[in-house]
């Protein structure tokens, strides 16, 4: 069996400014003043870890990711911090963290009803779980991915790809699960609007995230055909603005939970 394709840090960071806004907004709502231990789960190339370390320079700041390529970029970016290869889906820490930061990673993992309370149990008393997840599966950008995957000659090959990303629960789900885990909870959603150069830029954005499970299963020729059909399918939903840009709507769900007791 072939190894699962690694994440592409360079492709992901083509939109670094836009991708760093949500973790900055999330961190601004973290109600901690002097945490001792902080970890960035699914740290990627370290752009979100850098924010945490700048906010809490007196803490021991760490990052964890399952991608060797992402970790290589993170270590080059922040050579003084500790970055560990690991699986967020099985991670826990009995010693406890004051801040568990998870930016745009938990949407890839199953069983949020079990996952979120488990993460909360890895917090110290008064510690904070701060999570941001894209909530865009019903946006045209993602509906088109599933439609093209199901309708093209690659439908059988891509059947399993459609199940890779987990559906986001409701506001009430996350609030209930975390309250039951002994936390007080703040939940909100923000829709970011990114002005991108053209339709092709939307495809480039998602090549490192939403489109990746599909493209990884295709040959180079199939990838070209898939992307051509994808651009055709999304075109009516992202009209060209007067300045030539297209507007990518991007809803994101935020959860900040503080462990009490």
DSSP codes of every residue in 106-162: GGGSS-HHHHHHHHHHTEEEEEEEEEEEE--TTSHHHHHHHHHHHHSTTHHHHTTGG
pLDDT < 70 regions, the chain = 1-16, 163
Predicted TM-score of the model (pTM): 0.89
pLDDT of 12: 45
For residue 64, what are the domain limits?
9-259
Question: What is the tally of structural domains in the chain?
Answer: 1
pLDDT of 9: 47
Please check whether residue 173 lies inside any domain of the structure.
yes
- Cβ–Cβ < 8 Å for 191, 250: yes
In angstroms, the CA 251 to CA 246 distance is: 16
Per-residue burial over 90-112, b = 16 or more CB atoms within 10 Å of its CB, e = otherwise? ebeeeeebbbbbbbbbbbbbeeb
Please check whether residue 1 lies inside any domain of the structure.
no
- Cβ–Cβ < 8 Å for 25, 43: no
Render pLDDT for 168-205 as a digit per residue (tens, 0 to 9).
Answer: 999 999 999 999 999 999 999 999 999 999 999 999 99
pLDDT of 97: 97
Please check whether residue 19 lies inside any domain of the structure.
yes
| CATH at 102 | 3.40.50.150
Please check whether residue 187 lies inside any domain of the structure.
yes
DSSP code for 205: H
Q: How far from chain centre, in Å, is Cα 79?
A: 23
pLDDT of 3: 47
| Paired strand residues for 152 | none
């Amino acid at each position: 069996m072939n190894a699962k394709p690694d994440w592409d840090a360079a492709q992901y960071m083509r939109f670094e400014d836009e991708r760093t806004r949500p973790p900055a907004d999330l961190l601004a709502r973290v109600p901690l003043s002097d945490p001792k231990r902080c970890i960035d789960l699914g740290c990627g190339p370290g752009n979100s870890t850098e924010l945490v370390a700048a906010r809490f320079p007196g803490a021991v700041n760490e990052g964890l990711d399952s991608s060797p390529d992402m970790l290589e970029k993170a270590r080059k970016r922040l050579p003084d911090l500790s970055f560990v290869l690991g699986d967020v889906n099985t991670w826990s820490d009995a010693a406890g963290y004051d801040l568990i930061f998870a930016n745009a990673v938990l949407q890839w993992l199953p069983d949020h009803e079990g996952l979120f309370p488990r993460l909360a149990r890895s917090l110290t008393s008064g510690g904070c779980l701060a999570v941001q997840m894209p909530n865009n599966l019903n946006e045209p950008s993602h509906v088109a991915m599933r439609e093209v995957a199901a309708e093209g000659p690659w439908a059988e090959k891509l059947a399993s790809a459609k199940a890779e990303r987990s559906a986001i629960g409701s506001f009430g789900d996350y609030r209930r699960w975390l309250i039951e885990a002994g936390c007080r909870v703040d939940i909100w959603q923000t829709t970011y609007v990114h002005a991108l150069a053209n339709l092709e830029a939307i495809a480039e954005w998602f090549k490192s995230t939403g489109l990746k499970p599909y493209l990884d299963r295709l040959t180079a020729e199939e990838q070209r055909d898939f992307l051509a059909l994808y651009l055709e399918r999304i075109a009516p939903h992202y009209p060209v603005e007067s300045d030539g840009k297209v507007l990518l709507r991007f809803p994101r769900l935020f959860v900040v939970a503080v462990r009490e007791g």
